[in-house]
Structure 1
Amino acid sequence: MIVGIDLGTTNSAVAVWRDGEATLIPNSIGDVLTPSAVGVSDEGAVLVGMAARERRATHPALTATAFKRQIGTQQKLQIGQHLFSPEDLSALVLRALKADAEEWLGEPVDSAVITVPAYFNDRQRKATRRAGEIAGLKVERLLNEPTAAALAHGIHEKEDKNPFLVFDLGGGTFDVSIVEIFEGIIEVRASAGDNRLGGEDFNDVLADLALGQFPALAGIAHDSRLREMMRAAAERCRRALTTGDPAAFSFVWEGQPFETAVTAADFEAAAGPLVARLRDPVLRSLRDSGVVSETLSEVVLVGGATRMPLVRRAVTRMFGRFPDASVHPDHAVALGAAVQAGLRARDAALNEIRLTDVCPFTLGVDTTEFDSNGRMHPDVFAPIIERNTVIPASRVHAFSTVHDNQKAVQFGIYQGEARNVASNVKLGTVSVPVPPRPAGRIHVDCRFSYDTSGLLEVDLTVPETGMTKQLVIHDDEDAPDEAELAARRAALAGLKVHPRDDAANAAVLARAARCYEFFLGERRDHIGQLILAFEAALERQDPRDIAHVRREVEERLNALEGERFL
């Protein structure tokens, strides 16, 4: 049995696709949301979920929350006498969800689709996958959270739909995706986000705001127990501000009650810097997708933190319209993961639905550049597959030697957006021998092929010698079996054709070349410009861009040649 899991910063949930619909699975106490909290009891027993969360304020040294924010790092978290990595803690939550699902379904659960923030990098994704394996699950796919929400939102709408924006603000992360539905395909056009922005940050702002009203506590403001007490009070106050204004901020410290009233206006003013950070990922996703905000069919709110009135007002101001809150903010991601689980299980009810996703970060290599004075600048990032490229995808770029009589060309493989590779995530290294020649005379074609499960193939080819080298990058600690790896690589092999060699593109170029020879004067010049534009699109290697320019070239040629070719 395969299930869908929303592994959240604050809460997690598990759902299953059965009888033609996605269904949330309740945990052992009947709730469909399980707190992403791990603790240790006074007797040393490990607690997961609500039992751990309830002790956070009183036993902060024995409780861990929001550890999703550290996943993919080397950080260790001390809980009592135990030392855990973030993925160990995530595995404990996943194991609890697995046990709840098995109890409710009455059968073993061995596989899962697990959601991750769209802006998780390679290390964070691999750590999440390892957490699933530690929990005893085969991770069929890591699914971006806003993509999952789009599946939950669009599953009943088979008709074509203009691009819409999924605005996903959860407990610890913020994601934005531009999604389009056409011909049964749910296509993600672009994603952006902030992995350090969520409801927990708004709680901290509210706690700091209230602390100013309690001068007696100023000297112990950094006490961990006090801080957790105030965070718990902040969360209660934040929820109360959703339905009333003002709201009480109250807690008991060392037997003494503390209470103050917080107004929505004061909270909104204090949270202004956090609200301002919501804008940049939205702009980036619109820019990367080429979609103008006015053409969005709707703005869909997902994630528990979108319940805050100040967030909804910010979104309304940002887009000049009210957002769509029809999808349950806490359930959408888990339900979408269940839909994807059904797709993986090839459920007949989902045969008409296909899903595409995008590469969340740019993939590229380290190169050396020369300035106008001829000085070398090494370790410069050269993108090959840009962020928000629809995947699976394959792209190739040519590089040349930089030293006389160079015997090999070595590439570091990186993921990120920074110009200096030291600020990006290194994924591996590959080199290929080249014949000794003057600098710049030998070229190496570097092809990246990337699939939806994070498999990256790097192919180096030296056209002058025919020498090739290949590097396959996946998680060594979670290596797929040979049959699965062979199938995934075979699927990528079909993409390793440069767009200029595609039959349809080659035919249009040949037709344009013939027309150039046939016509004279302004018409010939016009056809020459069409050829240049199409060749430029082919070099950019973006299928959507190529298809658009090819249609335009064909329409122009049809107009020139007349109805004989229509």
Structure 2
Amino acid sequence: MIVGIDLGTTNSLVAVWRDGKPQLLPNALGEVLTPSCVSVDEDGSILVGRAARERVQTHPDRTARAFKRAMGSNKTFALGKQSFRPEELSALVLKSLKADAEAALGEPVTEAIITVPAYFSDAQRKATRAAGQLAGLKVERLLNEPTAASLAYGIHQLGAETRFLVFDLGGGTFDVSILEMFEGVMEVRASAGDNFLGGEDFVDALVDRFFAEHELSPNLRRNALFMQRLAGQAEAAKCALSTSASATMLVSQDDRTLRLEITEALLADAGASLLKRLRAPVERALRDARLRSSELDNIVLAGGATRMPLVRKLVTSMFGRFPALDFNPDEVVALGAAVQAGLKARDAALDDVVMTDVAPYSLGVAVSKKLSATQDSSGHFDPVIERNSPVPISRVKTYWPTKTDQARIDLHIFQGESRMVADNVHLGQLAISLPPGRANDCPVDVRFTYDVNGLLQVEATVQKTGDKFAVLIEGNPGVMDEAEIARRLKALDELKIHPRDMLENRTALARAERIYQMLRGEVREWLANQILVFEAALGTQDRRTVAAAREQLEQQLQEIERNGVLDDEPAPRP
């Protein structure tokens, strides 16, 4: 069985193509959104999803989130006494989604289409593929997120001729793609994006404003527990503005209760630089597609951060029309991944659908240029594959050494759009051995091959000798080799994963612990007793008793939050 997975910064989803349409699959809590969050419990077991997210504020030293942003790097996350790479944390989320899919479908899941930001680099894509492998999945394809959203949208437009833009703002990344559809063919015309721009950055902007408004010491940022609580309040306020005119950030520190009233105007002011950054990729994509905004038939929103009213207002002002609201922006990417899974499985309902994509960024090498007969200038970027070229693509360029009898060329490979390589992203290098001779007599053909998964292969051929050099791009600190993957896979298999059928109970306890730490006075003492009642019910191991106690505790927690007893003064006992 093959599934489609949206591996997101904030939330992840799994979907399947079934009965002629894409369908989202629920997790153990009956929800389709699984928070991309991992925590290590006190007994050493691993918690994934909402249970882990509830522990972000209470156990920040044992919980990791937003690790998607570190994919392709050598960063590690310390959770208690254990240390994890971003691929391993992503693999734990993928494993959880795989288990949920198998429970819903009643059969093993072995293959997956996994979505990635269109602007993910070669190293980030390889890291995502490794995460899938660590989770026990054969990754059939890495699909660009805005392309996936367009598949979900376009599957309902078959037979129509339309041109539309996908505006995909997720928790940690921003992508834009322009697509054209005609006679069952969906063709990506252009893509652009920003790998470090998303809803998390608006949360950070509110945190910064909170510090500024209360003139808090920068040293307080080292207090992990305080920062997690503040970030949680900022996230809640940002989300609340989607349905309310205002929201309150409220955090206790040193016997003081600090408040900040958040309005859309304040969020727009705090995130002004972020809103400005959203414009540049849109303008670049339109230029590359050689289109004016008036020539687009529709604007499709994807990513949970597009729920923010200020983002929707920005989109409306940029394009002079309201965006399409046909799909839930949290779900549209996963639904598109399921459509691609159906294409891979050759479902008869999709026989007439063809999907093409593009390279979202330019790929090339560092070269030297002659300024005069005696002077060279090094560090210039020479593109081999231009951005927004249709993929799969293979291009060859010929280069020469700079000196007579030069023994080798160190070919440095870059991604980006800047004139100088110092301002682009270094992907790796390839050492090419040369025979003796004059520089002009020793040309080297360099072939770049970029596939539908967004993975780059580089091959160099010395014309004089016919020698070919390895396609391996070295130097990416975040890319694991096969031996490292095997070692990490063995380590992951030895981890104690919290039982899936107990997840509801652990999630309720984690939520109760989070709320308990935010309370004071009589209501805090009262909640402690209610937690003890629930723990006693767990001790009976009777499913009906536990379910009834859990339902009662969850109602009590909801009542506490609804009545606003998380304020500075103790509230009446519920």
State the match for 2:466 in structure 1: 467
SS of 1:126's partner is: helix
Residue 306 of structure 2 is aligned to residue 323 of structure 1: no
SS of 1:232's partner is: helix
Q: CA RMSD of the aligned region, Å?
A: 2.4
SS of 1:26's partner is: coil
State the match for 2:341 in structure 1: 341
Structure 2: 5+ residue stretches without partners: 474-478, 484-574
Structure 1 residue 403: Cα displacement: 2.4
Seen in structure 2, the aligned counterparts of structure 1 residues 264 and 460 have a Cα distance that, compared at 3 Å, is: closer
SS of 2:310's partner is: helix
2:430 partner amino acid: T
Seen in structure 2, the aligned counterparts of structure 1 residues 254 and 25 have a Cα distance that, compared at 3 Å, is: farther
* Superposed CA offset, 1:67-98 (max 9, x none): 11111111111111111111111111011001
Residue 52 of structure 2 is aligned to residue 58 of structure 1: no
> Partners of 1:174 and 1:58 in 2: how far apart?
30
Seen in structure 2, the aligned counterparts of structure 1 residues 229 and 401 have a Cα distance that, compared at 3 Å, is: closer
Structure 1 residue 226: Cα displacement: 1.2
State the match for 1:425 in structure 2: 426
Q: Is the 8 A contact 1:401 1:441 kept in 2?
A: no
> Partners of 1:333 and 1:116 in 2: how far apart?
10
1:38-53 to 2 correspondences below 5 Å: 38-53=38-53
TM-score by length of 2: 0.78
Structure 1 residue 45: Cα displacement: 1.7
State the match for 2:146 in structure 1: 146
SS of 1:467's partner is: coil
> Partners of 1:430 and 1:225 in 2: how far apart?
48
State the match for 2:74 in structure 1: 74
State the match for 2:234 in structure 1: 234
Q: Is the 8 A contact 1:3 1:15 kept in 2?
A: yes
Q: Is the 8 A contact 2:130 2:480 kept in 1?
A: no
Structure 1 residue 426: Cα displacement: 3.0
Q: Is the 8 A contact 2:129 2:139 kept in 1?
A: yes
Q: Which has the higher contact order (CA 8 A, sep 6+)?
A: 2
1:23 partner amino acid: Q
Seen in structure 2, the aligned counterparts of structure 1 residues 451 and 251 have a Cα distance that, compared at 3 Å, is: same
SS of 1:322's partner is: coil
Using the TM superposition, name which of 254-263 and 366-375 deviates more.
254-263
Using the TM superposition, name which of 57-66 and 286-295 deviates more.
286-295
> Partners of 2:462 and 2:66 in 1: how far apart?
48
Structure 1 residue 106: Cα displacement: 0.5
State the match for 2:295 in structure 1: 295
Structure 1 residue 156: Cα displacement: 1.6
2:466 partner amino acid: M
Q: Is the 8 A contact 1:174 1:196 kept in 2?
A: yes
State the match for 1:369 in structure 2: 369
> Partners of 2:146 and 2:454 in 1: how far apart?
17
Q: Is the 8 A contact 1:457 1:470 kept in 2?
A: no
> Partners of 1:435 and 1:121 in 2: how far apart?
36
Structure 1: 5+ residue stretches without partners: 480-566
Structure 1 residue 373: Cα displacement: 5.6
Using the TM superposition, name which of 91-100 and 354-363 deviates more.
354-363
Using the TM superposition, name which of 69-78 and 375-384 deviates more.
375-384
Seen in structure 2, the aligned counterparts of structure 1 residues 434 and 367 have a Cα distance that, compared at 3 Å, is: farther
1:286 partner amino acid: L
Structure 1 residue 360: Cα displacement: 2.5
* Superposed CA offset, 1:432-487 (max 9, x none): 645724x4355443332322134544454566x572525434888469xxxxxxxx
> Partners of 1:362 and 1:321 in 2: how far apart?
31
Number of aligned positions between the proteins: 477
Q: Is the 8 A contact 2:123 2:427 kept in 1?
A: no
TM-score by length of 1: 0.79
1:436 partner amino acid: G
1:297 partner amino acid: D
* Superposed CA offset, 1:171-228 (max 9, x none): 1111111111122111111111111111111112223333445468887354211111
State the match for 2:86 in structure 1: 86
> Partners of 1:357 and 1:81 in 2: how far apart?
43
State the match for 1:436 in structure 2: 437
> Partners of 2:421 and 2:218 in 1: how far apart?
43
2:58 partner amino acid: T
State the match for 1:507 in structure 2: none
Q: Is the 8 A contact 1:9 1:69 kept in 2?
A: yes
Residue 358 of structure 2 is aligned to residue 358 of structure 1: yes
2:468 partner amino acid: K
State the match for 2:503 in structure 1: none
Using the TM superposition, name which of 19-28 and 345-354 deviates more.
345-354
1:175-190 to 2 correspondences below 5 Å: 175-190=175-190
> Partners of 1:477 and 1:130 in 2: how far apart?
9
